[in-house]
Amino acid sequence: MPGRLTPGDRRLFLVSGGVFVALIAISAVLTGGASNATELATTYSAGSRGAKAAFVFLDESGYRVERFEQAYRELPNGEGATLIIADPESAPTIEDRAGVRRFIEDGGRVIATGVSGSLFLPERHVQADGVSGITWARIPAVSPSAITRSAAAITMAPQAYWEPGTTALPLYADDNPRVVQYRFGAGEVMWWASATPLTNAGIREAGNLEFFVASLGSPAARILWDESAHGHVRTASTSLIRSPLTGLAVQVSIFALAILFTFSRRSGPLVPPPVERRLSPLEFVRTLGSLYQRAGAAPVAVDIAYQRFRFALAVRLGMAGNAPAADLERASRERWRLDAQFGDVLRACETLDPRMTASEALRLNRALYDYAAAMQLYSKRPEGEIKN
């Protein structure tokens, strides 16, 4: 067994390596520097409806802000903490609602936005308002509080409203309450009609940034920005799967398997490929010739060749197969220009001498073959004029 790669193996190895490097380079070019621009209120999105700007602002301003990417049952003690649930994509389960409820009862503050965000709250009296939520609107403050003192009016897309007549305190309202606040247990709940004030586009509107910062409570509070409702649930398994190193490890594994497959082809028993021996047909011809020679059957070989020649010639001339040799000769000379020996060859083949020598038989066979080739009797190519 050879101990080194063959030239073919080395070539395959280099080509595979080149393709591997090219794929990594293309991936780096296509994904490098590209930002997430999904239109969701997530801190990973740089789109107009994303919340990356607000998250970066809080982080660079010294707030204790962090992304929460675990199940809601793993929420920490809510005392001195604020949880932001901005336009979640999925509805909560019973366990999710229980986790948020416990967080509030322990003294936490929850800011939930939109109809979907209200589903996480222990109390909800929300109605959708699709018509008013089509465009942004200026919503004035209606109740005195520390939050409304920071911003007399805010801008948002009023996609829902809190039903009037409940115990919740309306902070901003037009015809209906758009921002409300109420106590629950030892904690506090704020509900917004939409996440517009904290989005990348909405935070630039007058009063929205001040309103957002004031809604967070104490600057020393721990801020948990929920991302699990946007599909970013981080567990030991999902963290490993989503890691960029996982994709790299898969590619390296495929590359390693290709190398092993390349080398394994030379690690098994070597079986030489079958070689077609060109001597086999010649051996058959020689054996058959020896048989005719020992039997003295030279006329038989000539007769076989002549019968084939006669049949092909009659078909080409459109004559009967039992036509006399003289008729075949006359028709052939009318169609082709033949030499004087053609008739002699036909007559010699018609009247074979049983005592014919091998040399005479060979001469007649060669003559029949030459005439057949000249007349193209055994070929499908267009016939041409035969010259002397």
CA torsion through residues 137, 143, 144, 145, sign: negative
- For the chain, list residues with pLDDT below 70: 1-6, 9, 28-37, 234-247, 262-270, 276-280, 379-388
Considering the entire predicted model, what is its pTM?
Answer: 0.56
Q: Domain limits of the chain?
A: 7-33+241-264, 52-234, 280-375
Contact of 118 with 177, CB cutoff 8 Å: no
Query: Which secondary-structure segment (H or E) carries 230?
Result: none
Q: CB–CB of 173/181 below 8 Å?
A: no
Q: What is the pLDDT of residues 130-150, one digit of tens each?
A: 888 889 999 999 999 999 999
**171 burial level (CB within 10 Å; 0-12, 13-18, 19+):** buried
Chain segment 48-100, per-residue pLDDT in tens:
999 999 999 999 999 999 999 999 999 999 999 999 999 998 889 999 999 99
| Residues 79/108, Cβ–Cβ less than 8 Å | yes
Q: What is the pLDDT of residue 35?
A: 47
What is the DSSP pairing of strand 137-140 with strand 153-156? antiparallel
Which CATH number is associated with domain 52-234?
Answer: 3.40.50.880
